[in-house]
Amino acid sequence: MDIHEYQAKEILSRFGVAVPAGALAYSPEQAAYRARELGGERWVVKAQVHAGGRGKAGGVKVCDSDAEVQDAAEEMFGRKLVTHQTGPEGKGIYRVYVEAAVPIASEIYLGFVLDRSSQRVMIVASAEGGMEIEEISAERPESIVRATVEPAVGLQEFQCREIAFKLGIAPGMVQQMVRTLQGCFRAFTELDATMVEINPLIITGDDRIMALDGKMTFDDNALFRHPQIAELRDKSQEDPRESRAADRGLSYVGLDGSIGCIVNGAGLAMATMDTIKLAGGEPANFLDIGGGASPERVAKAFRLVLSDKNVQAILVNIFAGINRCDWVAEGVVQALREVQVDVPVVVRLAGTNVEEGQKILAESGLPLIRATTLMEAAERSVEAWQSEQAQNTQVRTN
pLDDT of residue 77: 93
pLDDT of residue 104: 93
Is residue 264 part of an annotated ligand binding site?
yes
* Contact (Cβ atoms closer than 8 angstroms) between residue 81 and residue 93: yes
Is residue 61 part of an annotated ligand binding site?
no
pLDDT of residue 397: 60
Is residue 53 part of an annotated ligand binding site?
yes
pLDDT of residue 75: 94
Is residue 365 part of an annotated ligand binding site?
no
Is residue 280 part of an annotated ligand binding site?
no
Is residue 98 part of an annotated ligand binding site?
no
* Cα dihedral 125, 130, 133, 136 sign: negative
Please list the active-site residues.
Answer: 109, 197
pLDDT of residue 291: 63
pLDDT of residue 385: 92
pTM beyond 0.85, yes or no:
no
pLDDT of residue 371: 92
pLDDT of residue 61: 95
* Contact (Cβ atoms closer than 8 angstroms) between residue 167 and residue 140: no
* Contact (Cβ atoms closer than 8 angstroms) between residue 261 and residue 268: no
Is residue 102 part of an annotated ligand binding site?
yes
Is residue 309 part of an annotated ligand binding site?
no
Distance from C-alpha of 330 to C-alpha of 296, rounded to nearest angstrom: 11
pLDDT of residue 247: 67
If one counts every other C-beta atom within 10 angstroms of the C-beta of residue 61, the result is: 19
DSSP labels for 107-127?
Answer: EEEEEEEEETTTTEEEEEEES
Is residue 107 part of an annotated ligand binding site?
yes
Cα 55 to chain centroid distance, Å, stands at 20
For the chain, residues with pLDDT lower than 50 are none
Domains of the chain, first to last = 21-100 (3.30.1490.20), 104-229 (3.30.470.20), 240-392 (3.40.50.261)
Nearest to 181 by CA among 69, 30, 42, 18: 18
Distance from C-alpha of 394 to C-alpha of 166, rounded to nearest angstrom: 65
Distance from C-alpha of 141 to C-alpha of 128, rounded to nearest angstrom: 10
Is residue 55 part of an annotated ligand binding site?
yes
